[in-house]
Amino acid sequence: MNIAFNKDKPVAIGADHAGFEYKSALIEILEQEGLEIKDFGTYSADSVDYPDFAHPVAESVETGESGCGVLVCGSANGVAITANKHQGIRAAICWKDEIAQLSRQHNNANIICIPARFVNKDEARQMLQTFLATSFEGGRHENRVKKIACV
């Protein structure tokens, strides 16, 4: 697979208890692609608070330490809301492959947020692969993306 993100930087990944099982499956995809992974947890299915994992993933992408990020929780809403509080983060909730593709092409998303309770593992894997392989189109979308920041 062609990777559209900087392959020299790790992919930051995190999940809450609802996304823990999916996170493990997605790490396998990243390893198969030979990508370095920065795993911010959680490391079990025990109940946890999603911001404790979304903030470190977003910070890693925000600072440039990681090239992109992956967040998984039950609905993906909590992790997306949390991640999008960070400047320069464009965290996109994706529930099917076409949304993952458009989030990159049109919105230059740098974190994919997957709703573990609403997609199966195969769909999650496919969305991640699409997200990683899709480039930002720029052009007419460039000005729109520049208008997202509040600064």
Whole-angstrom distance, CA of residue 143 vs CA of residue 9? 26
Residue bearing tokens 């299915």:
45
Whole-angstrom distance, CA of residue 28 vs CA of residue 125? 9
Q: Does domain 11-146 have CATH number 3.40.1400.10?
A: yes
| Cβ atoms < 10 Å from Cβ of 127 | 24
| Total residue count of the chain as it appears in this document | 151
Question: Which pTM does this prediction carry?
Answer: 0.96
| 100-148 per-position pLDDT tens digit | 999 999 999 999 999 999 999 999 999 999 999 999 988 889 989 988 8
Q: What is the pLDDT of residue 1?
A: 66
Q: How do the domains of the chain map onto residue ranges?
A: 11-146
| 53-92 per-position pLDDT tens digit | 999 999 999 999 999 999 999 999 999 999 999 999 999 9
Instruction: Report the run of H or E that residue 54 belongs to, with start and end.
Output: helix 51-62
Positions marked active-site: 73, 106
